[in-house]
Amino acid sequence: MSIYNSMNQPISELFFQIWCSGRITRTDRYGLKSALLEEMLDEEDKAAIDRLLHAVRRGWLLVE
């Protein structure tokens, strides 16, 4: 489980927060981008980010 920089929040908690709210904020996007660029994510975290991107593409999550 990796920590995403902005708020020192685990990716799994960020995923849950985004999924429950139904929206992904600019801060969330920057944090996810930062985590991806650091290349320190395990497979579980990468899969969670992929699920979020899929949900955005399908219209299940709003992008703010």
- The rounded distance, in Å, linking the Cα atoms of 21 and 34 is 21
The domain limits of the chain are: 3-63
Alpha carbons 14 and 25: distance in angstroms, whole number: 11
pLDDT tens figures, 3-43: 555 556 789 999 999 999 999 999 999 989 988 888 788 99
For residues 6 and 43, give the distance between their C-alpha atoms in angstroms, rounded to a whole number: 21
The 10s digit of each residue's pLDDT in 42-62 is 999 999 999 999 999 999 999
